[in-house]
Amino acid sequence: MDTPADPTAREARVVLYGRAGCHLCDRARTMLERVREDTGEGFVEVDIDADDTLRERYGELVPVVTVDGVQQGYWRIDAGRVRAALG
């Protein structure tokens, strides 16, 4: 399970790991906003560049989306997979 330094992210079901200036992160954010509209399940964003461990773990894989600590995808994340993970 991922354990970001931010306690809010540890408590969230859906976490978007990304970084500033990442166009795929922008696309993932838009997708997660649509999922939130459909399911009511929010998400938190974590900047991997603010945490050495996360930067090492995810590096060039961002964006990475986890649901309940389980990675659901990286780069181009499938909304259907995120919805399925939310149950």
Domains of the chain: 8-69+78-86 (3.40.30.10)
Burial of residue 28 (number of CB atoms within 10 Å: 0-12, 13-18, 19+): buried
**Percent of the chain whose pLDDT exceeds 90:** 86
The pTM is what? Answer: 0.89
Residue-wise pLDDT for 38-59, tens only, equals 999 999 999 999 999 999 999 9
Question: Band of the pLDDT at 11, cuts 50, 70, 90?
Answer: confident
Answer whether 17's CB lies under 8 Å from 46's CB: yes
4 has pLDDT over 70: no
